[in-house]
Amino acid sequence: MYSAILSLAAAGGVWCGLFFGGICEWPGATGWAVPSWLVFFIATQRFAKKGVDKVQAALQTCMAEGQARMQAKVQRLQMRINSISAMKQAQAEIERGQAEIMKSALAIVDGLERYKGWIPLMGRQIASMRMQFHWALKDYGKVDELMPKAMLLDPMLRAVAMARMYMRGDTMEEIGKVYRAGAARLRYNQGVILPAAFSWMQLKKGDVDGAFKTLTAALEKSDNPILKANHLALQNGKTTTFSNQPFGEQWFALQLEEPKIKMQRQHQRFR
């Protein structure tokens, strides 16, 4: 890592200056060189972090402005949806708008590449960001490439990894390992999308008992009403009423189900 190497070179310079300059013997020179390495290392890290913060701020601005434009566009389109063809056209327009936002975000993330050698785990952080945006673009080949490098610390990103594994036909045992690794770190009412997604996958595979057990364990750390409703549905044998659609965009972002767009009814006026 560049920071460590430069800091070591600087500390070596301090040691040589003190020892060969006759200012200190080698123990004293070493005593000054060690804290010098730490000071230089912290300074380079802070300098690099300022650059990373600028890129991340630009990324947040890009996403916030893009989503604001998309929300306004969705509201306008919904007023015009009065037929199946209009609905399909609106969906295509929304997808194009979302793709433009993701591509702009990916271009900004490229600016973090220069800091990979300066900040620990920056490469894995970049992979995590790129995986999220390529998922939104439905570039599944790129997602598969990035997944082993990504840090799945965020529950939503871990749910995305699980969704991709489910799509490509990985075993439920493999998906379960990814789920349990993330669920073990969840705090109360945190990351409820994880047990919601995993129980949905289990139910789709015909493992009703497994889905029930997943939700039972999840409700020990959550009082989420959607998880409760699905748990009750499985308990009463009403598997057809199990639904994660109330999670809204968070659920549909996993691309396991398509959202339903309601058509606006056109009312005629009669005199």
User: For 266, how many CA atoms within 13 A lie in the half-sphere containing its CB?
Assistant: 5
pLDDT at residue 63 is higher than 50? yes
Q: What is the mean pLDDT of the chain?
A: 83
Q: Where are the domains of the chain?
A: 152-258
Question: Cα–Cα distance between 96 and 172 in angstroms, integer?
Answer: 33
The first and second tokens of residue 205, run together, are 């595979």
Q: Which of 45-49, 169-173, 266-270 has the highest mean pLDDT?
A: 169-173
Residues counted in the chain = 271
Question: Cα–Cα distance between 7 and 233 in angstroms, integer?
Answer: 60
Report pLDDT digits (tens) over 156-199: 999 999 999 999 999 999 999 999 999 998 889 899 999 999 99
Contact of 234 with 215, CB cutoff 8 Å: yes
Least confident of 41-55, 101-115, 176-190, 226-240: 41-55
Rounded mean pLDDT, 228-253:
95
Q: How confident is the model at residue 258 (pLDDT cuts 50, 70, 90)?
A: confident
Sign of CA dihedral 117, 118, 121, 126: negative
pTM given for the model:
0.79
Q: How confident is the model at residue 44 (pLDDT cuts 50, 70, 90)?
A: confident
Q: Tell me the three-class secondary structure of the chain, residue by residue.
A: CHHHHHHHHHHHHHHHHHHHCCCCCHHHHHHHHHHHHHHHHHHHHHHHHHHHHHHHHHHHHHHHHHHHHHHHHHHHHHCCCCCHHHHHHHHHHHHHHHHHHHHHHHHHHHHHHHHCCCCCCHHHHHHHHHHHHHHHCCCHHHHHHHCCCCCCCCHHHHHHHHHHHHHCCCCHHHHHHHHHHHHCCCCCCCCCHHHHHHHHHHHHCCCHHHHHHHHHHHCCCCCCHHHHHHHHHHHCCCHHHCCCHHHCHHHHCCCCCCCCCCCCCCCCCCC
pLDDT at residue 126 is higher than 60? yes
Q: How confident is the model at residue 47 (pLDDT cuts 50, 70, 90)?
A: confident
The first and second tokens of residue 217, run together, are 């364990």
Tell me which amino acid residue 165 is: M
pLDDT at residue 270 is higher than 50? no
Q: What is the CA radius of gyration of the chain?
A: 26
Contact of 112 with 126, CB cutoff 8 Å: yes
**Residue 261, pLDDT score:** 53
Q: How confident is the model at residue 70 (pLDDT cuts 50, 70, 90)?
A: confident
Angle subtended by helix axes 172-183 and 155-167, to nearest 10? 180
